[in-house]
């Protein structure tokens, strides 16, 4: 599991997200912006998650969270997994590698006694040595077979597995047992630019090394016995959208601080109501309306952090109305991104540099605005001309037609949040100005994963969230034909060849990043998917909740992944 993930379906602000294997679900976090000039305006930090040492926390207590949906696919390494899958997995699956907010990775000493990389005979070699105590919940020793299983399930789409991402894993030549079964020796085909990337999302139980089990075995079944960590699954109800975790009596490390952790599937409005009623302990408040609803609450804390996420807009190029690249370009050029930002961030005192890339964030070294390089700009006149030239004529109602077919586009939003509705309605008005009939279809949040993966949409707004800083390393996950994250359908064999031969073959990470940024601009010219903005993560929590967001993709600790056993309440 790594670099990007669909946070869920996110209607242009941030309600759900896909984990770009490097992603997790938020409810209601979009962005920030609005009234400027106040000396007392809240500041957005790089990370804001109330870090506390264990000695400052009390033992016991419960934390209740909301989640957009309990995903059907609970194998976080599978292509159909969402960021919600990654969120839940972090609480009972092994966190063998942890991460500081700035993206610095370090081994979790509970699982690994050794984690190193070196160059031998011109090849990158990784060594993983598991601790003697590291054991899966079913009693299986955690050893080299976990590394081997993870590699075999993630290295290809041609062996029956449906992995979340093959990046990194496909560059591995072999995984073999070391001096003892507890040690795995991973040898790459040559020098690899990102040696810390593979396996930083964890490992899978060896029983998942079978394609059928990997693809289907964890559908609506979390399989607690295949986990290993401070917590284990206590109760699970797919129909009710509920899962809870309890301390794992098989855990060998520091005792988890909490007695119980729960996640309940809720839509946007239900989650804010639940927080106000004391039913959950944290909620996204990334819109002016949601912030206002908690403004008078006592004993809460508002956290504001930079979010490693992109709000994106995607069209399905395989649908009849979007098969012509000119129509796709016109659709995007009709969107005033600055206006969308104003709606999303109204009243939140936030601004940011343009988010012109899905590979890197503007604060990362090597970033360039790929979307601008591709020639994108908001230009309704140019969009109208593109559609005129493509043979789409405006009817008496202002909607274009061609061969008796209206230029109509189904655009679902999976939220009842008023900001989501405002964003969609604004986009609807923009598209109508160029003769495109954008039909807004409001759907339940728990339908997102199914509808997105089945492409039950013509255009869709999403959030891709990133769990680590190795942007170029995950380039294929975003833009290769056989990956399940980007479903725009514009990927092609020529692009795949360039990715494999002109990017992945580069062993210098700086040069590889430079090449990726150039190719990304070329890919955007196919007009299947574009980034709109990043935005912050804004959450309200009950006072005293510490060490937030141990799961990847959430955003309050930037790229950070904290140990789940350290989440708890201050004394």
Range of the domain at 102: 97-214
**Inter-axis angle of helices 380-389 and 325-333, nearest 10:** 160
Q: Can you tell me whether residue 523 is helix, strand or coil?
A: helix
**Could you report how far apart the first and last alpha carbons of the chain are, in Å?**
35
3-class SS shares of the chain: helix, strand, coil, % to 5: 25, 25, 50
- CA distance readout (Å), 66 to 15, 241, 243: 12, 10, 10
User: Which residues are 484's β-sheet partners?
Assistant: none
Q: Which residue, chain included where needed, has tokens 């804010």? A: 272
- Helices (DSSP H) in 410-566: which residue ranges? 418-432, 448-453, 475-479, 493-498, 509-524
Residue 353 lies in a domain: yes
pLDDT at 347: 87
Is-contact 226 207, C-beta < 8 A?
yes
Residue 395 lies in a domain: yes
pLDDT at 467: 78
Considering the domain architecture, whether residues 203 and 322 belong to the same structural domain is answered as no
What is the C-alpha to C-alpha distance for residues 123 and 189, in angstroms, rounded to an integer? Answer: 6
For 69, half-sphere exposure in the C-beta direction (CA atoms, 13 angstrom radius) is 28
Q: Which residue, chain included where needed, has tokens 């309440």? A: 569
pLDDT at 463: 87
Number of domains in the chain: 2
Considering the domain architecture, whether residues 209 and 313 belong to the same structural domain is answered as no
Q: Which residue, chain included where needed, has tokens 């994250």? A: 485
- pLDDT tens for 474-487 read 899 899 998 878 99
- pLDDT tens for 92-141 read 999 999 999 988 999 999 999 999 999 999 999 999 999 999 999 999 99
pLDDT at 164: 87
DSSP H or E segment with residue 269: helix 268-276
Residue 25 lies in a domain: no
pLDDT at 416: 82
Q: Which residue, chain included where needed, has tokens 């807004």? A: 440
Among 517, 533, 549, where does a domain finish? 533
pTM equals: 0.83
pLDDT at 40: 58
What is the C-alpha to C-alpha distance for residues 364 and 264, in angstroms, rounded to an integer? Answer: 35
In the chain, which residues have pLDDT < 50?
A: 1-2, 7-17, 20-39
pLDDT at 41: 60
DSSP H or E segment with residue 288: helix 288-294
**What does the angle CA 187 – CA 188 – CA 193 come to, to the nearest 5 degrees?**
130
Residue 450 lies in a domain: yes
Token pair belonging to 162: 């449906």
Considering the domain architecture, whether residues 339 and 483 belong to the same structural domain is answered as yes
Considering the domain architecture, whether residues 191 and 320 belong to the same structural domain is answered as no
pLDDT at 85: 93
Considering the domain architecture, whether residues 326 and 196 belong to the same structural domain is answered as no
Considering the domain architecture, whether residues 515 and 406 belong to the same structural domain is answered as yes
pLDDT at 425: 97
Would you mind telling me the total number of residues written for the chain in this entry?
Answer: 571
What is the C-alpha to C-alpha distance for residues 423 and 268, in angstroms, rounded to an integer? Answer: 15
Considering the domain architecture, whether residues 462 and 331 belong to the same structural domain is answered as yes
CA–chain centroid gap for 373, Å, is: 25
Residue 38 lies in a domain: no
What is the C-alpha to C-alpha distance for residues 367 and 350, in angstroms, rounded to an integer? Answer: 21
154: domain CATH number is 3.90.76.10
What is the C-alpha to C-alpha distance for residues 327 and 317, in angstroms, rounded to an integer? Answer: 10
Torsion angle of alpha carbons 6, 12, 13, 17, nearest 10°? -10
What is the C-alpha to C-alpha distance for residues 122 and 188, in angstroms, rounded to an integer? Answer: 9
425: domain CATH number is 3.10.105.10
Its sign, for the CA torsion 149, 154, 159, 162, is positive
DSSP H or E segment with residue 371: helix 370-373
Token pair belonging to 566: 């350290």
What is the C-alpha to C-alpha distance for residues 112 and 203, in angstroms, rounded to an integer? Answer: 12
Considering the domain architecture, whether residues 406 and 525 belong to the same structural domain is answered as yes
Longest CA span, the chain: 77
Residue 267 lies in a domain: no
Q: Which residue, chain included where needed, has tokens 């693809």? A: 215
What is the C-alpha to C-alpha distance for residues 319 and 549, in angstroms, rounded to an integer? Answer: 38
């Amino acid at each position: 599991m790594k670099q990007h993930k669909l946070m869920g379906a996110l209607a242009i602000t941030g309600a759900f997200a896909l984990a770009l294997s490097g992603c997790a679900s938020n409810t209601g976090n979009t962005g920030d912006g609005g009234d400027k000039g106040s000396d007392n305006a809240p500041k957005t930090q790089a990370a804001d998650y109330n870090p506390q040492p264990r000695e400052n926390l009390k033992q016991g207590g419960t934390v209740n969270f909301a989640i957009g949906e309990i995903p059907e696919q609970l194998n976080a390494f599978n292509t159909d997994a969402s960021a919600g899958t990654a969120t839940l997995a972090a609480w009972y699956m092994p966190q063998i590698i942890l991460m500081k907010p700035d993206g610095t990775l370090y081994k979790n000493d509970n699982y690994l006694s050794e984690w190193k990389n070196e160059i031998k005979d011109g090849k990158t070699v990784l060594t993983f040595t598991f601790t003697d105590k590291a054991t899966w919940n079913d009693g299986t020793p955690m050893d080299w077979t976990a590394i081997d299983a993870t590699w075999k399930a993630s290295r290809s789409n041609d062996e029956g597995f449906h992995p979340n991402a093959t990046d990194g894993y496909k560059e591995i030549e072999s995984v073999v047992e070391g001096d003892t079964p507890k040690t795995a020796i991973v040898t790459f085909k040559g020098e690899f630019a990102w040696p810390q990337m593979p396996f930083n999302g964890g490992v899978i139980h060896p029983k998942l090394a079978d394609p059928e089990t990997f693809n289907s075995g964890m559908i609506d079944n979390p399989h607690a016995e295949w986990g290993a960590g401070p917590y284990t699954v206590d109760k699970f109800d797919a129909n009710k959208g509920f899962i809870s975790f309890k301390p794992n009596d098989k855990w060998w490390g520091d005792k988890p601080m909490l007695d119980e952790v729960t996640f309940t599937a809720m839509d946007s409005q239900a989650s804010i109501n639940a927080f106000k009623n004391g039913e959950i302990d944290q909620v996204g408040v990334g819109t002016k309306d949601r912030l206002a609803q908690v403004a008078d609450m006592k004993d809460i804390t508002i956290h504001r952090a930079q979010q490693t996420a992109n709000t994106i807009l995607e069209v399905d190029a395989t649908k009849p109305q979007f098969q012509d690249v000119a129509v796709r370009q016109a659709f995007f050029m009709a969107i005033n991104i600055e206006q969308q930002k104003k709606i999303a961030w109204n009243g939140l005192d936030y601004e940011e540099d343009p988010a012109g890339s899905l590979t890197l964030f503007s604060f990362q070294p090597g970033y360039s605005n790929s979307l601008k390089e591709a020639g994108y700009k908001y230009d309704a006149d140019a969009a109208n001309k593109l559609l005129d030239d493509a043979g789409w004529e405006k009817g008496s109602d202002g909607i274009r037609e061609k061969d008796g077919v209206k230029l109509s586009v189904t655009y679902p939003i999976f939220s009842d949040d008023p900001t989501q509705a405002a964003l969609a309605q604004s986009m609807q008005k923009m598209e109508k100005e160029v003769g495109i009939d954008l039909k807004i279809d409001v759907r339940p949040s728990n339908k997102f994963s199914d509808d997105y993966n089945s492409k039950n949409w013509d255009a869709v707004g999403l959030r891709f969230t990133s769990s680590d800083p190795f942007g170029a390393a995950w380039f294929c996950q975003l833009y290769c034909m056989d990956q399940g994250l980007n479903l725009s359908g514009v990927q092609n064999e020529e692009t795949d060849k360039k990715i494999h031969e002109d990017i992945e073959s580069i062993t210098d990470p700086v040069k590889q990043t430079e090449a990726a940024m150039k190719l990304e601009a070329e890919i955007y010219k196919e007009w299947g998917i574009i980034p709109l903005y990043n935005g912050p993560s804004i959450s309200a929590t009950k006072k005293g909740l510490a060490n937030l967001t141990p799961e990847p993709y959430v955003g309050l600790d930037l790229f950070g992944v904290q140990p789940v056993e350290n989440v708890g309440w201050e004394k």
